[in-house]
Chains A and B, each alone.
Chain A
Amino acid sequence: MDDARGVIEFDQVTKVYPGATAPSIDRLTMRIEAGEIVALVGPSGSGKTTAMRMVNRLHEPSSGTIRIDGVDNRTLPIEELRRGIGYVIQQVGLFPHRTVLDNVGTVPALLGWDSHRIQQRSRELLDLVGLDPSTFGDRYPAQLSGGQRQRVGVARALAADPPVMLMDEPFGAIDPLVREQIQDEFLRMQRDVRKTIIIVTHDLDEAMRMGDRVAVLQEGGVLAQLATPEQLLSAPANAFVRQFVGGDAPLRRLALARVRELPLIPLDVAHGQGFGLFVDATGRPVHWASGAPVTVTVELETTLRTAAGELLAAGAQYAPVVDELGRPVALLTTDMLHGWLNRPTEAMLAAAVTTTLAQAHTA
């Protein structure tokens, strides 16, 4: 495995469309590491799609340079460049007159692979995206559901194993129930394939869920902030980002962590502080040492947002944390959630470092 492949660098990239007075992208400088997902978000008109489409030269920058693994993307012949970059769009753009297998094998065929190898690779990829090749391989796109089409689109983009993938609102046309499931599947797949991925989305929740880092673009194509979801929420770089992530930023931040990540109070310590628990025959907590019944428990894998909701709903200040069998392992208090949200030094420090690095890079 060549892990260093797929670093994308934007270097002072500006795009002014012919006839436009203002730039769509204004001196964009950012570095996307190999194997990283960066989500581009911003209001319409912030140039996020333009920025993405300049990577495979569907648009050309007016000035500035985009480098992939240190090489100017204008060095290669344009078709060769594009064949080395996976491309997924919202409407998928499958060839309606070709079967699913033929669609997936498009780029390998362009690269001149022999038909046996193309066939084998296409089947492998359908498997990877969770579609049985013998069921779906010979169908036409019109015979698939929206979610299935999108999976075929992803398989097609991955077919020639490109180090870089560009995805323009890839899950935007899928109904919300299926969308989250496909996003999760995609993230699971990404753990194995480790592509460098740029995802354009207008959906902040999607950006936070999918992106290792999120790039917020504001009107005029200016990069407002490039940071991890957590940094974005806890230390927005400016008023625009603060407004864009919205008033429920604390709740969004809580959704980013799970209960097990908190410095929970171990049971024996809790016991010493008067939070002893009585359990039933199956080991589940029944009431506190004080005699008060246990009204709510939270699981280790629950997000802090859900846990906060459960505590609020039960009107409880604290609750036993239980394992998957329902047996108590630790104690969670609302103070911990509060404390987690208010650990500014760490997040701010990280944000400050990022900013300094970015400035150093610009200078």
Chain B
Amino acid sequence: MSFLADQWPEVLRLTLEHVLLCAIALGIALLLALPLGVWVHGRSSRIGIVTGIAGVLYTLPSLALFAILVPIVGLGVLPTVIGLVLYAQLMLVRAVVSGLDSVPEDVRDAAVGMGIDRWRILVEVDLPLALPVFLAGVRMAAVTVIGIATVGAVIDAGGLGELILQGIQRNQTERVVVGALAVTALALGTDYGLVRLERRSRPWVGQQGSGAAA
């Protein structure tokens, strides 16, 4: 692969750009989805409205969504980040809700019965217990965002999509392949990292059965 030997600083730059783009989008998406998920949790009407809207956004083709945003906010990173944030909402809000659903009812009942206030229950009981299920959703969202961010190159957002786009325009298959492989590697690496994190988020399981009968 002579292409990589020549162009590796360029590939590295675009990869970092891609990572940054996705990290910013995911970060903002999380800041939005977390309170949103907590707000809708346990109220089916709210869940219906929020996942309804997020679901419509999710089904829009990414290229179309970016195209809609460009006349409003212009070209570049901004519309791409907005688009990615919107895309991730459906998965992330659902992840928060199913994470909170996974908190055992008896644990919550005991917490309320012992006089722990609502805010503390949320922060000290609900969120830590919801974390493993929530992180599984974050993983999906992260992989999706990494993939879709590639399309952002079309509206000048940079990132690894640019490599692929150039390859297509200049008819350089090597560029397309390297770009695609890099995106895939990024997605797989993120996935792996988050799986590790998911496991570490529940140190209290996996050691069951060592207790004798009473």
Interface residue? B114 (CB, 8 A): yes
Is there a chain A Cβ closer than 8 Å to B168's Cβ? no
Separation of A89 and B114 alpha carbons in the complex (Å) = 11
Q: Does B210 contact A (CB under 8 A)?
A: yes
Chain B min CB distance to A144 (Å) = 4
State which of B107, B209, B214 has its C-beta within 8 Å of the C-beta of A181. Answer: B214
Within 8 A of B (CB), among A289-318: none
Interface string of A188-215 (1 = CB under 8 A from B): 0000000000000000000000000000
**With an 8 A cutoff between CB atoms, is B123 at the interface?**
no
- Contact check, B107 vs A93: say whether CB atoms are below 8 A apart: yes
What are the interface flags for A119-159 relative to B under an 8 Å C-beta threshold, 1 for contact and 0 otherwise? 00000000000000000000111111111100101001000
Q: How far, in whole Å, are A81 and B113 apart by their CA atoms in the complex?
A: 10
Q: Is the CB of B116 within 8 A of A96?
A: no
B211 and A143 contact, CB distance less than 8 A: yes
Which B residues are in CB contact (< 8 Å) with A83?
A: 114-115
What is the predominant secondary structure among interface residues of chain B facing chain A?
loop
Given known pairs A142-B204, A144-B211, the reply for A93 and B115 (CB within 8 Å) is: no
Given contacts A145-B214, A147-B214, contact A87 B110 (CB under 8 A): yes
Is there an interface contact between A145 and B128, defined as CB atoms closer than 8 Å? no
* CB proximity to A under 8 Å, residues B98-124: 104, 106-117, 120
Contact B107–A148 (Cβ < 8 Å): no
Q: List 10 additional A-B contacts (Cβ < 8 Å) besides A96-B129, A140-B203.
A: A83-B115, A89-B109, A93-B110, A96-B104, A110-B114, A139-B210, A142-B205, A142-B208, A144-B211, A153-B110
User: Which 3 A-B pairs have CB atoms at the shortest separation, nearest pair first?
Assistant: A147-B214, A93-B110, A82-B115
Give chain A's interface residues, CB within 8 Å of chain B. 56, 58, 78-84, 87, 89-98, 106-107, 110, 139-148, 151, 153, 156, 166, 174-175, 178, 181-182
Point out residues on B near A: beta carbons under 8 Å.
104, 106-117, 120, 125, 128-129, 202-205, 207-214
